[in-house]
Chains A and B, each alone.
Chain A
Amino acid sequence: MDDTSPISLSPLHETHLRAGARMVPFAGWNMPVQYKGITEEHLAVRRACGIFDISHMGQFRVEGPASRDWLNGLLTNNTTRLGIGQGQYTLLLNENGGVIDDLILYRTGAEAWFLVVNASKTAEDLAWMQARLLPGVTLSDESPRYAGMAIQGPESAAVYQQVAGAHMELPDRNGIAEFISLRGGTCVVCRTGYTGEDGFEFFCEAEEAPYWWNEFTEHGAVPCGLGARDTLRLEMGYPLNGNDLSPDRTPLEAGLGFFVDMDKAAFTGREALAAQKVHGLPSKLTGLRLTGKGPPLRAHYQVFSDDQPVGELCSGGISPSLGIGIAMAYLPPALATPGTALEIDIRGKRHPAETIKKPFYKKP
């Protein structure tokens, strides 16, 4: 995103300002980073229910008789395993097996699909897919049409029930359902999220967004910003594209092999992944933590092993649930074994750290 690009505003922008949100630029959007405080919002999601504006995320619809096989050739997961109403986490790769984007693909009909992609990659994903369109497939960018919110936390299903349960039952885990609101707009509800808690993502027509946001918050969902969204996903070891995923790293290096089906029909990037399976991975996305009290870990801090630089942090922070600095870095596989002692350089001082199995946080 260059500096001359216009900044996009969420349909919930005025709602955020009235609620006292602190706004920051993110992926070309002006979005709330926090309302009352990142720690408080983080814990609200772990303990009860929080709501995030995710209107910056992109939504595509793909339809047509060839749509299933076309998507199967572009994405790493297996589209033939999805029944109608089901969704799967999947990745869009370049020819070298590097990650363009990670996304969720939902099947909304026999020949109809709904894709939710990262804000920072919406234009790139769209261009990549449009350039590879085949007869029998239509692709439409619905991003401008929809506002989005993620309602997350152990009480989110109860909140949903009170707000929208009369319209449509909450789908099962990873599932999708759609309904028409009383105001006439399409509402899409997906039982997915980015926090490690039960919850759902809710997409509605942009003009209905303030109505639904107010409904969810009045029934107990606590407004949360991108700050808490980042600490929550980091505690789970979920990658953030742009930090932890890149065109130069494969999903195998990122530890996402579960979402890559090497046995299905050919897909873009498959050959590079097959070669890595034969020759071994050059690096592994590894969890780290400071072994003592120390500063929060942050992206780009250097990691050392026996006084040699071995990588840099791609994501980092302080875990509100655990109270310690946690991070992820691409490290040589020999150093990725949990419990490996390392050091992290913070402002010229080396702090003792160790590798640790993800997720960093496990539900009590």
Chain B
Amino acid sequence: MSAPSNARFATSHEWILTGESESPVGISEHAQAELGDVVYIELPEVGRIVKAGESVAVIESVKAASDIYAPVAGEITAVNPAAAAETRLVNTDPYGAGWLFKIKPSNPAELDTLLDEAAYLAQAG
């Protein structure tokens, strides 16, 4: 499964869409495959101001709990209740219906520091 061409990646396995005022964030196809069946998602509060690299959500698979980090600084403007209710969406459609939350970046230039899919996959091994 390929990511949308405007997706950018953090090395901590989150993707974020560029070119939008409120950017959806999720986890990569590689990350969902590594985690296995997602059974629980804890989402941030809307309105929270976050720093890049700050832990903002938790995804739990059967075996482990994993922190999800904000790929850029900004304000959380929305969360995806469908993913929290139907956690399998993160496994089956990580770049679509399985998005987790939206960030309004405080410094859009920060997006340029993230990786494109090819570079992300190269470093993710």
Chain A residues proximal to chain B, CB less than 8 Å: 22, 33-34, 37-40, 227, 231, 294-296, 298, 317-318, 320, 347
Contacts of A294 in B (CB 8 A): 40
A320 touches B62 (CB 8 A): yes
Docked pose: A294 CA to B65 CA in angstroms: 13
Q: Which residue of A lies closest to B63 (CB)?
A: A227
Residues from chain A with a CB closer than 8 A to the CB of B34 are: 22
In the complex, number of A-B residue pairs with CB atoms less than 8 Å apart: 39
- One digit per residue, 1 when the CB lies within 8 angstroms of any chain A CB and 0 when it does not, for chain B 18-50 equals 000000000000000010110110100000000
- In which size bucket is the chain B interface? 10 to 19
Which positions in B face A, CB cutoff 8 Å? 34, 36-37, 39-40, 42, 58, 60-63, 65
Alpha-carbon separation in the docked complex, A298 to B62 (Å): 10
Which B residues are CB-close (under 8 A) to A227? 36, 62-63
Q: Is the CB of A318 within 8 A of B65?
A: no
A-B contact pairs, 25 of them (CB 8 A): A22-B34, A22-B36, A33-B63, A34-B36, A37-B36, A37-B37, A38-B37, A38-B61, A38-B63, A39-B37, A39-B62, A40-B37, A227-B63, A231-B62, A294-B40, A295-B58, A295-B60, A296-B39, A296-B60, A296-B62, A298-B65, A317-B62, A318-B39, A318-B40, A347-B58
Task: Provide the bound-state CA to CA distance between A320 and B39, in Å.
Answer: 9
Asked if B36 and A295 make an inter-chain contact with CB atoms under 8 angstroms apart, the answer reads no
- B28 vs chain A, min Cβ distance (A): 16
Whether the pair B58, A318 counts as a contact (CB closer than 8 A) is: no
**Chain B interface mostly:** strand
Closest 6 CB pairs of A and B: A38-B62, A295-B40, A39-B37, A318-B39, A37-B37, A296-B60
CA gap between A335 and B40 in the complex, in Å:
28
For the complex, what is the distance from the CA of A347 to the CA of B42, rounded to whole Å? 11
Q: How far is the CA of A320 from the CA of B87 in the complex (A)?
A: 14
Nearest-CB residue, chain A, relative to B88: A39
| CB of B44 to closest CB in A, whole Å | 13
Please tell me if the beta carbons of B40 and A38 are within 8 angstroms of each other in the complex.
no
Q: Which chain A residues border B42 with CB–CB below 8 Å?
A: 295, 347
Q: Give the residues in chain B near A296, CB-CB below 8 Å.
A: 39-40, 60, 62, 65
Q: Report the nearest B residue to A317, measured CB to CB.
A: B62
Pick from B34, B36, B61, B62 the residue with the most CB of A within 10 Å.
Answer: B62
Cα A37 to Cα B65 in complex, Å, equals: 16
Give the complex CA separation of A317 and B42 in angstroms. Answer: 16
Q: CA A227 – CA B39 in complex, angstroms?
A: 14
B58 CB contacts on chain A under 8 angstroms: 295, 347
Chain A residues with CB under 8 A of B63:
33, 38, 227
Known: A227-B63, A318-B60. 14 other contacts (CB 8 A): A22-B36, A33-B63, A34-B36, A37-B36, A37-B37, A38-B37, A38-B61, A39-B62, A295-B40, A295-B42, A317-B62, A318-B40, A318-B62, A347-B42
